[in-house]
Structure 1
Amino acid sequence: MPFRGTEDAVLAHVPRTIPLTVTTTEAKGLAATVDLAQRLAGHGYSVAPHLAARQVRDKRQLADLVAQLREAGIDGIFVIGGDVTQPAGGFPDALSLLEVLDADGHHFRRIGIGGYPEGHGSISQDLIDRAIELKARYATHVVTQLCFDAGTTAAWARRVKERGVDLPIHVGLPGAVSRQKLIRISAGLGLGQSARFLRKQQSMLWRFFLPGGYSPDRLVEWLAPRVSAPEGTLRGFHLFTFNELEKTEAWRRRMLTRAGQQP
């Protein structure tokens, strides 16, 4: 998240071999996201900023954003609709922005889109399923929203593949983040955005906030066999650090060591 101190924390704790994403928040807007992404790219990181379609005013602003990222050597983005109530301009959803990007041409080699194993708090499942089919033609991979049930994630991935979406899927999960930190940061995004965030994560209260309900170790262990299955599309993990970079990196190294791999 593009907060004060994020750049220093990344430099202190995250190896340059780790690909990063920078989120877009409703409060700070796209400028803070792109600025931090540019600075991190200048330090040698592979960075993919979130482009929230509903915060982009028009084609001209989109072209300016693309030019800034090209100049910084950033060749990856993650395109989401975003949760602002009223679109800033002509992009009501991720698909509309992806279509314009494709029509106008771009330099991006990696384009991520969102996946919703448990659906969306304000969009019907039919629309969600149809949207990922349409967006997939412009994307290189999918990153899921948080889901704390391995079976639900695996079943969703199978259903998406049956609908013809063959993109690699990276399972989104929190890293070594305390309950208190997640509550504090999500509240800092703004009350409205926090409420929408929690509505979208239907298992959040039960799987995370209740005592003993969440462990990144347990979820990774449940999902690991499915991620490595050759017949599926689950291909890895995407860690939502909520800026707990030092703890999450230490946890990542510990898990790799436990699995007999080099961190």
Structure 2
Amino acid sequence: MAVVDGPRAGGARVARPGRAELVAALRDATYEVLPFRSAEEKVLADVPTDVALTVTTTEAKGLGPTVDLAVRLTGAGYRAAPHLAARLVRDRAHLADLVAQLTEAGVDRVFVIGGDAAEPAGTYVDALGLLESLDDLGRPFATVGIGGYPEGHGSIAAEHIERALEAKAAHATQVITQLCFDAGTTVDWARTVQQRGVTLPIRVGIPGAISRQKLIRVSAGLGLGQSARFLKKQQNMFWRFFLPGGYSPDRLIQRLTPAFGRTDNGLHGLHVFTFNELDTTEAWRQRWLARLG
């Protein structure tokens, strides 16, 4: 069951408010890549080098494959940001080694998260601690992303996670949201975040052109513990695949469009969770750009 709706994607009307900003957001969209064996080959085959990438971290494989893939993609001409999961970093020395490896390879961006590991590998228990250590190391990266949660976090109280976002914002350059299928929820959250003093640009996380079967295969490849947490967090996504017509990123884009270009919400870009379906995701993005002119 294909997720992208070709005929509808080619003929749907786009709201005028925010249209130019949506074009800019699509041109400047970033793609999230999983560090699986075929990922590098797929990126090189299907993704233009002007599309910036983030490389996720899997608990089962640790930080090594993530950093290695980010380094190789940077060497191939991409702007690739590894996910640095704080709970997988052992200590300050380990972090310094990671920073040295990345900066020597020309990597100038990272995405810092707490991570889902049940037990931290060492001294870092959350993203804030790692961000503070990066500051102590001289802020070695030009772009530092942090996570945003429009629908909250399954195991952290909403007020706590928003206070954490405010604390992390001082150490970051952008926010990338977790998946949210409700445009209104995302926009309302972004407005609240801005009212609370966080003025960083926000990239809206959306699923790309993926199939239900692909999502199931991806979850199975994450390792047993992480797969269970992934399925729990993404149960809303799976539910939507069984609705009549399934999920289409086009409907979400259309509902988000009026919010782009407004000054009250901080929405400045798109971050596409590709699940390594890079050929169909890039084809979907190009259809949108062609239609918008």
Q: Corresponding residue for 1:48?
A: 81
Tell me: higher relative CO, structure 1 or 2? Use CA pairs within 8 A at least 6 residues apart.
Answer: 2
1:168 and 1:234 in contact (8 A); partners too: yes
Q: CA deviation at 1:241?
A: 0.4
CA distance in 1, matches of 2:133, 2:269: 29
Q: Distance in 2 between matches of 1:44 and 1:191?
A: 34
The answer to whether the Cα contact below 8 Å between 1:118 and 1:202 also exists between their aligned partners in 2 is no
1:34-69 CA-partner distances (Å, limit 9, x unpaired)? 000110001010111100000000100100000011
Name which of 106, 120, 138 aligns with 1:105: 138
Contact 2:89 2:95 in 1 (8 A): yes
Structure 2 match to 1:141: 174
Please show how residues 72-151 of structure 1 align to structure 2 within 5 Å.
Answer: 72-151=105-184
| Counterpart residue number, 1:204 | 237
**Mean CA deviation greater in 85-94 or 207-216:** 207-216
Query: CA contact under 8 A between 1:119 and 1:200: conserved in structure 2?
Result: no
User: Percent identity among equivalent residues?
Assistant: 67
- Show CA shifts across 1:209-233 (max 9, x none): 4442410111111111212223320
Q: Matched residues in 1 for 2:121 and 2:149: separation?
A: 24
Contact 1:121–1:196 (CA<8 Å) still a contact in 2?
no
Q: TM-score normalized by structure 2?
A: 0.86
Structure 2 SS opposite 1:117 = coil
Amino acid corresponding to residue 199 of structure 1 in structure 2? K
Aligned Cα root-mean-square deviation (Å): 1.3
Distance 1:99 1:7, change over 3 A: same
In 2, Cα distance between equivalents of 1:91 and 1:215: 38
**One-letter amino acid matched to 2:142:** R
4+ long deviations beyond 6 Å: none
Which 5+ residue runs of structure 2 have no aligned equivalent?
Answer: 1-33
Structure 1 residues 1-263: aligned runs within 5 Å: 1-201=34-234, 203-260=236-293
Question: Secondary structure in 2 aligned to 1:26?
Answer: coil
Give the distance between the partners of 1:202 and 1:162, measured in 2 at CA: 30
Cα shift at 1:202: 6.2
CA shift digits 1:108-140 (9 cap, x unpaired): 110000000001111111111111000000000
Query: What TM-score, normalized by structure 1, do the two folds share?
Result: 0.95
Deviation at 1:190, TM superposition (A): 2.0
Question: Residue 97 of structure 1 aligns to which amino acid in structure 2?
Answer: L
In the alignment, is the contact (CA less than 8 A) between 1:9 and 1:245 conserved in 2? yes
Partner-residue secondary structure (3-state), 2:176 = strand
